[in-house]
Amino acid sequence: MKTLIVIRHGKAEKKKFGELDSKRKLTSSGILEVENMAKRLLEKNYQIEKIFSSSAERTRQTSKIFALIHQVEDDRIQYFDSLYLSDASHIVETLYHVQDEVQTLAIVGHNPGVTHFSCSVTHSYSVILPPAGIAVIKAHCDDWTQFEAANKTLVEVLLPTP
C-alpha cells in the first residue's frame, strides 16, 4: 500500500505587472497556513518521506515548509518543471520517478491540476483543494509504477481553517 499526499501550495502574492507567474511567493498568511497544515498532517500520523514539487517559487516554499516540519532532508525533495500548472496525466507520469521503498510521497502543485488529479484518480468528484489544501490518497499497490492501474481510495481531505 502506498500513500500519496497531494498538496496545493499556500496562498500566493498577486501577480505583479511584468512578473512571471512562476516567481510569485507565498504571502505571510500563506506561510502560516502551510505551517499549520504540515503540523495537522503530522498530528494525524502521516509522515512524508519524499516530496515532488513544481518548480514554481510558491510550491518550492510550500515544499520546504513541509520538509522542515516532517524532517525530510533537502535531497529528498525533487522539483519538476512538468508539475508547474500540470494536468492529471503529468502528475501520474511523475510517479514513475518514485523509488519503490518510498511508502508516503507528497506532491506539491497548483490548481486546477491537483484538484482534478485527486478527483479523477479516486472518482471522488466533490474534492476542491483551496490554497494549502491536502488530499490523502491510498493506492493498493506495492510499486509506484502500478499506481495508475491500482485501486485508490480518497482517505481524507484536509482544509485550512479560517
User: What percentage of the chain has pLDDT greater than the value 70?
Assistant: 100
pTM of the predicted structure, to 2 decimals: 0.95
pLDDT of residue 147: 94
Confidence of residue 21 (pLDDT cuts 50, 70, 90): confident
N-term to C-term CA, the chain: 33
User: How many domains is the chain partitioned into structurally?
Assistant: 1
β-pairing, 77-80 vs 152-158, is: unpaired
- Does residue 116 carry a pLDDT above 80? yes
As a dihedral over the C-alpha atoms of residue 47, residue 25, residue 83, residue 21, rounded to 10 degrees, the angle is: 170
85: CATH = 3.40.50.1240
- Domain span at 43: 2-158
φ/ψ region of 89 (left if φ > 0, alpha if ψ in -120 to 50, else beta) reads: alpha
3-class state of residue 151 by DSSP: coil
